[in-house]
């Protein structure tokens, strides 16, 4: 197994009381500087422990300091302060980007780090920022409800993905879709006064009759044909099938062992139909939060202080994340698609019971990891504890990551 850690939200370090007293805390430079320092501290520990990748979520405009976002310059900053670990987002919210600029940004980052990057992708569910950044394409955040907004978001996501793959390729390309066309204007080409120079020294076929006829993004990624591709927090079968066809690694949020096994089998079968012969578990990445202590009670007490307690209960629940942690008996009270789980059910105990959290002493966590390895044997496992950074004291976050890295990880490499 290869282990990744994240996504870091990341969160400005503060208690809930401080977030209220210092609102908006995201305007306070000293908190940003403290967060950058803590990010590097945790990244270096993850690097020393042998984690494969250290990754971030992409969100913006978050005045509460809970999910302040990430940008390519942050990934470069972390890479320059570590030695081996790969860095990137899980993921870039594709509908909020100009795809050609994103292809350039990711290739530069991959070259500057000599191949120490990953590229994660997401569709985007937070309207506060995506509606602003996607407005020229008329794209909005979506709850994946199959409505018109959701369909437009998916169209943009898939078109942007196709453009990225073309742009990273070695050949020049042309493209005409619903949202973008290259070259622009597509039919007549882009006027280019320096055509004689490009005809002599540029890509063959790039320019003809004084106009750009093909696009070539430079540099090309250091990793060939591109960095490893991840899909953020996959739940639906349709997303798993798309990932299997496109060679994308899904970070699976659904926690139950039976469900993860089903999605792994689905991925393997669909990949085979697309010409990719994989063993069961190859190219998938279940995600788990792991909290260790002397016993279960102590471990769950730690969990309540971080992502599992604060983010899920105070923020993420309002976006429907708890729907991934249902049990069969919930259907009688709160039918799926008709009644969401009520706030009274948003508990750390539910996260633990559903296997989103592995908690307890070393033997408890080993037992759960053994079950995952035996039934699914995933190529990747994501340690979700990176989301604790900024919510619980940094020394506590580092201690939990160290315990997992020293006591658990060596058994599964």
Whether residue 39 contacts residue 33, with contact meaning beta carbons closer than 8 Å, is answered with no
pLDDT reported for residue 295: 97
How much is the CA Rg of the chain, to the nearest whole Å? 22
Domain match, 106 and 158 both: yes
Give every residue of the chain whose pLDDT is below 50, as ranges: none
Label the pairing between strands 86-89 and 53-56: parallel
Phi, psi of 121 (to 5 degrees): -135, 150
Domain match, 16 and 89 both: yes
In a domain, 120, yes or no: yes
Gap between the Cα atoms of 134 and 97, Å rounded:
8
Domain match, 234 and 188 both: no
Check the CA dihedral 138-142-146-151 and report its sign: positive
Give, rounded to a whole angstrom, the gap between the first and last alpha carbons of the chain: 5
Domain match, 144 and 210 both: no
Domain match, 39 and 128 both: yes
Summarised one tens digit per residue, pLDDT across range 271-290 is 999 999 999 999 999 999 99
Gap between the Cα atoms of 320 and 281, Å rounded:
27
Label the pairing between strands 211-212 and 207-208: antiparallel
Whether residue 141 contacts residue 131, with contact meaning beta carbons closer than 8 Å, is answered with yes
Domain match, 79 and 131 both: yes
Summarised one tens digit per residue, pLDDT across range 71-103 is 999 999 999 999 999 999 999 999 999 999 999
In a domain, 354, yes or no: no
In a domain, 306, yes or no: no
The secondary structure of 109-126 as a DSSP string is HHHHTTS-B-EEEE----
Unique residue bearing structure tokens 């540029």 = 202
In a domain, 87, yes or no: yes
In a domain, 94, yes or no: yes
Whether residue 263 contacts residue 376, with contact meaning beta carbons closer than 8 Å, is answered with no
Domain match, 139 and 22 both: yes
pLDDT reported for residue 233: 87
In a domain, 356, yes or no: no
pLDDT reported for residue 193: 98
Domain match, 291 and 399 both: yes
What's the CA angle centered on 107, arms 102 and 110, to 5 degrees?
125
pLDDT reported for residue 337: 87
Gap between the Cα atoms of 35 and 50, Å rounded:
23
Domain match, 151 and 277 both: yes
Domain match, 208 and 239 both: no
Task: Give the residue numbers spanning the domain of 261.
Answer: 2-169+219-295+361-411
Unique residue bearing structure tokens 């320092």 = 37
What integer best gives the mean pLDDT of the chain? 96
What is the number of structural domains in the chain?
A: 2
CATH of the domain at 109: 3.20.20.30
């Amino acid at each position: 197994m290869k282990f990744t850690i994240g996504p870091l939200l990341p969160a400005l370090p503060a208690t809930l009381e401080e977030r209220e007293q210092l609102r908006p805390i995201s305007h306070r430079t000293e908190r940003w500087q403290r967060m950058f320092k803590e990010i590097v501290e945790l990244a270096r520990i993850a690097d020393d422990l042998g984690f494969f990748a250290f990754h971030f979520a992409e969100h913006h405009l978050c005045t509460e300091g809970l999910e302040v976002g990430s940008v390519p310059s942050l990934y470069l900053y972390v890479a320059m302060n570590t030695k081996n670990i790969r860095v990137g987002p899980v993921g870039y919210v594709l509908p909020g980007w100009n795809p050609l600029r994103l292809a350039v940004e990711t290739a530069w980052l991959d070259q500057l780090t000599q191949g120490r990057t990953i590229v994660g992708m997401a569709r985007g569910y937070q309207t506060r920022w995506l509606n602003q950044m996607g407005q020229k394409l008329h794209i909005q955040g979506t709850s994946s409800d199959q409505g018109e907004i959701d369909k437009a978001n998916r169209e943009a996501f898939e078109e942007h993905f196709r453009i990225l793959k073309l742009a990273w390729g070695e050949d020049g390309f042309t493209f005409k879709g619903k949202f973008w066309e290259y070259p622009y204007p597509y039919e007549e080409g882009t006027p280019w006064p320096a055509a004689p120079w490009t005809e002599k020294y540029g890509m063959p076929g790039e320019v003809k009759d004084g106009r750009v006829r093909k696009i070539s993004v430079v540099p090309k990624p250091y990793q060939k044909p591109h960095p490893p591709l991840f899909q953020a927090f996959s739940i639906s079968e349709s997303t798993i099938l798309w990932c299997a066809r496109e060679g994308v690694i899904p970070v699976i949020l659904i926690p139950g062992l039976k469900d993860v096994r089903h999605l792994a089998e689905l991925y393997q079968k669909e990949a085979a139909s697309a010409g990719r012969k994989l063993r069961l578990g190859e190219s998938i990445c279940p995600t788990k939060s792991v909290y260790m202590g002397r016993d279960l009670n102590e471990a769950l007490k730690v969990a309540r202080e971080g992502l599992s307690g604060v983010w899920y209960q105070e923020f993420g629940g309002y976006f429907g994340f708890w729907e991934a942690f249902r049990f069969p008996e919930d259907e009688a009270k709160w039918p799926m698609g008709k009644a969401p789980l009520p706030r009274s059910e948003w508990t750390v105990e539910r996260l633990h019971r559903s296997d989103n959290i592995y908690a307890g002493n070393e033997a408890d966590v080993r037992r759960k990891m053994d079950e995952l390895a035996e039934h699914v044997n995933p190529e990747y496992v994501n340690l979700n504890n990176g989301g604790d950074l900024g919510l619980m004291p940094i020394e506590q976050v580092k201690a939990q990551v160290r315990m997992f890295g020293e006591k658990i990880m060596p058994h599964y490499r």
